[in-house]
Amino acid sequence: MMTAMFDRIALIGIGLIGSSIARDVKELGLARDVVVSTRSADTLKRAEELALGTAYELSAADAVRDADLVIVSVPVGASEAVARQIAPHLKPGAIVTDVGSTKASVIAQMAPHMPDNVHFIPGHPLAGTEKSGPDAGFTGLFQGRWCIFTPLPGTDAGALATLRAFWGALGSKIDEMDPEHHDKVLAIVSHLPHIIAYNIVGTADDLETVTQSEVIKYSASGFRDFTRLAASDPTMWRDVCLHNKDAILEMLARFSEDLAYLQRAIRWGEGDKLFDLFTRTRAIRRSIIEAGQDVDVPDFGRHSLEKKA
C-alpha cells in the first residue's frame, strides 16, 4: 500500500466510473477518507453495501466539505447542477475534476461556478464497459487506458501534476489537448460508433419481414457486435448527444455522405469501389492491434470464451 495521496476524496456520482475509481483508491490506499455521494438513495445504499467509501452523503454539498480532491462522475447534462451545489462548500486549494465524455460543454457548465481558490481541471478517462451502476465497476478498469485532460489557460502546474499522478496511480496513460479538439476526436472514435450502433439495432427491431426472434437467433453473423455498444447507459448517451451536438452532427453528415456513395456503388454494381474500401479498412484493424488497442484474437476471443461456457 502506497502512502495516501489525499486526506479526503469526494466522489460525486458512483456508477461504473465512480465505483471503479473508489475500488482502485481503496485497493491502492490513495486516500484516508473517501466520501461517496449520489442523489439516489438506493444507489447510495448499494455503494455502502459494497463498502466503496468511508462515508456516504446524499448531498453533494456535504460530501465535498474538506475534500482535497473532488471527482464528478455524473451524466454530462448534470454537470451544471452539481457545480452549483458544490461550489460554496469546496475547500480552498481543492482539486475539482470530472470524467465527462464531452469537454467544452462540461467546462461551460462548471467553470463559471468554480471559486477562484480551487483548481478545476476537466478530465476524461477513456474507459468503461457497456454495463452501468455501482455494481458494474471493477478494480483495474483504467489500467493501460488513456485519460485526457483539457486544462483551462492558467491552470496551476502543481495541481495538474498532482492529478496526473493520481490517474497515473490508477494505471492510466495521460494526454492533454484543448477541449474542442477532444470533442472532435471523441465524436469520431466514440460518439458516432455508439449512435450508429443504437441506430442499427433500432432498425432491426422495427422490421416487419424479419422477426425479432430471427434477428436474435442469427445475431452472431455480425449484428451482435453492435448490440454491445447499444446496451450502454441511455442517460449518459442522451446527454453526450445533446452536449457534443456540433461535432456529432458534423461526423454524422460525413458518415451519411460516405454511406450514400457506398449505396450507389452497390446499386450500380461498382465492385471495384467496394473492393477498394473493404481493403483499406482492413489495414486500420491491423494498426489498432499493433498499437495494442485491441486483442489480437479472432472474433474478440469469443470462441475461447464460448468453449469454456
Site for its own copies in 215-244 (CB under 8 A): 215-232, 234-235, 237-239, 241-242
Stretch that binds its own copies, among 41-49, 63-71, 108-116, 190-198 (CB under 8 A): 190-198
Binding to its own copies, residues 266-285 (CB under 8 A): 266-267, 269, 271, 274-275, 277-282, 284-285
Q: What's the min distance (Å) between Cβ of 232 and its own copies? A: 8
Q: Which of 7, 27, 49, 306 binds its own copies (CB under 8 A)?
A: 306
State the cell numbers at 278.
473493404
Closest distance to its own copies from the beta carbon of 308 (Å): 9
The least CB distance from residue 86 to its own copies, in Å, is: 24
Please report, as a single letter, which amino acid is at residue 99. Answer: V
- Which residues, 105 to 134, sit near its own copies by CB under 8 A? 126-131
Cβ-based nearer residue to its own copies, 118 or 201: 201
Q: CB of 181: closest distance to its own copies in angstroms?
A: 8
Q: Which range of residues in 33-41, 54-62, 152-160, 208-216 is near its own copies by CB under 8 A?
A: 208-216
Contacts of 148 (CB under 8 A, 6+ apart): 123, 124, 125, 126, 174, 175, 176, 177, 182
d(CA 116, CA 125): 25
Q: Pick the closer one to its own copies by CB: 63 or 76.
A: 76
In the complex, least distance from residue 106 CB atom to its own copies, rounded to whole angstroms: 16
What span, in angstroms and rounded, lies between the C-alpha atoms of 306 and 309?
Answer: 5
Number of residues that bind its own copies (CB under 8 A): 113
Residues 85 and 109 sit within 8 Å (Cβ to Cβ): no
